[in-house]
Structure formats: structure tokens, C-alpha cells
Chains A and B, each alone.
Chain A
Amino acid sequence: MYTSSGFISFALRRLTGVALVVYLFMHLWVIGSVNAGPEAFDARLAFVQQPLFKLLEVALLAAVVYHAVDGIRIMVVHYTGITEYRKSMFYAVLAVSTLLVIAGGVPIIRFMLEG
């Protein structure tokens, strides 16, 4: 096993990507309940909005944000050919992701606590 910041970024990107694919299909199924009418939709959405799910939602947010920001980093490398700053760029991805997750996660947690 060859560990490096490059490997960690790759493993996280792949892991979050696969997790998002799984989420996507569950999500299509949850939202698909509207096909059975508003009542079915409200029932299923009430189920997935219990407090525990709100915590999972923050985890989902973290996955989306990391995957997206790191994906943008990869595309910047494709476009510019910048390879000297590969380590700093990865740390920047982690920093930006952390900030975005805090900014997005705090309101969700507060909503969960205050109802």
C-alpha cells in the first residue's frame, strides 16, 4: 500500500463518489413516492427527516462538498497542467471543504435541535 496525499485524495474521492451513487438511487426512490400522491410523499419524507437522518444529511453534505471540490481540483489540473502545487492544492481542497461543510451543516444541526 503506497500512502500519500495523492492516494488519500483519490480514495476519498472514489469513496464519496460511490456513496453518492448509492444515495442517488435511494433518493430517487424516496422522492418517487410523489407518484403515489402527496400523502405518500409526506409520509415517506417525514420518515427520512427524523433527527438521525439530519445527522446523516450533514455526512451527505460533507461527501458532496469534498467530492465536488476535489473534482474541481482534478479538472483544474487537466486544464492548467499545474503539478508543482499538488500538495498545497489538496490541503486547500480540505480547507475549503471544511469551511463549506461548517457553513452548510450548522443551520441543519440548528434546525434539528430547534425543530
Chain B
Amino acid sequence: MRVFQMQRISAIALVVFLTIHMIVVHYPPFHIDFDQIIIRMADPLWKAIDIVFLFFVLVHALAGAWVVLTDVQRFSRLKRAFAGAAIVIGLIAFYYGTKTILAFQPPV
């Protein structure tokens, strides 16, 4: 799939997920601490939502960064290297982020 399509599909997904995210972490505004967040995050469904959100936001962000860089003529020789770097960064961030989301466990 083209970077262009990846960017649009993830953008549509983000309209949904980022809207949900901005609402649940802000409204009504509250002081964020573990006890507050865990009320929601104890639910596996929220964990799933967060992981899907994480996936799309990484695709969109890294595809976007790649586009911004490769639009510059001087960097166009490096487009393969940038794509490789984006994939590696994306995989690491997805692994780390998923681990983070799963770490939201209610204390036993």
C-alpha cells in the first residue's frame, strides 16, 4: 500500500480514536493519577481500544514524518533509509506502548 493511502486510512481511524482519547482523558477535567486511570484501564476493552489507537497513531505519525522529510529534494536519496528507520522505530514504539498499556493492572 502507498504511504499516501496509509496516511488517509490512519487519519480516518484517528478521527475516531483521537476524539475518544481527548474526551476520556479530559472531560470533565481531572487530575490524572493511577487510581483515576485504572478505573477505565482495568477493562480489557479499553486496553484493546488503546492498542488499536496506538497502532494507527504510529502509522500516521511515522508515515507523516517520512513524507515531510522526503518532500525535501536533498533527502530523497535517503528515502529507503528513512522508511527502514520508520519501520524500526514504529515496531519498537508499538512494542513498548503495548507493554505500557498492559501494565495498567489494578493492584492485587
Partner of A72, one of B15, B27, B58: B15
B8–A31 CB distance below 8 A: no
Complex: how many Å from CA A64 to CA B104? 25
B65–A107 CB distance below 8 A: no
A104–B22 CB distance below 8 A: yes
Residues of the B chain whose Cβ atoms lie less than 8 Å from the Cβ of A45: 32-33
Residues of the A chain whose Cβ atoms lie less than 8 Å from the Cβ of B31: 49
Asked if A12 is at the interface (CB within 8 A of a chain B CB), the reply is no
Q: Which of B15-68 contact A (CB under 8 A)?
A: 15, 18, 22, 26-35, 57-58, 61-62, 64-65, 68
Q: Hey, which bits of chain A sit against chain B, CB under 8 A?
A: 14, 17-18, 20-21, 24-25, 28, 31-32, 34-35, 38, 41-42, 45-46, 49, 61, 64, 68, 71-72, 75, 78, 104, 107-108, 110-111
A75–B99 CB distance below 8 A: no
Count of B interface residues, CB-CB < 8 Å: 32
Q: List 6 A-B contacts (CB under 8 A).
A: A20-B61, A24-B61, A28-B97, A34-B103, A42-B33, A110-B29
Partner of A61, one of B15, B22, B64: B22
How far is the CB of A52 from the nearest CB of chain B, in Å? 15
Name the CB-closest residue of B to A34.
B103
Given A31-B100, A104-B26: A41 and B33 interface contact (C-beta under 8 Å) = yes
A25–B107 CB distance below 8 A: no
Complex: how many Å from CA A111 to CA B22? 16
The dominant DSSP class at the B interface is: helix
Q: Which of B79-108 contact A (CB under 8 A)?
A: 93, 96-97, 99-100, 103-104, 107
How far is the CB of B6 from the nearest CB of chain A, in Å? 13
Partner of B29, one of A34, A64, A108: A108
Complex: how many Å from CA A107 to CA B62? 31
Residues of the B chain whose Cβ atoms lie less than 8 Å from the Cβ of A31: 100
Residues of the A chain whose Cβ atoms lie less than 8 Å from the Cβ of B15: 68, 72
Residues of the B chain whose Cβ atoms lie less than 8 Å from the Cβ of A110: 29
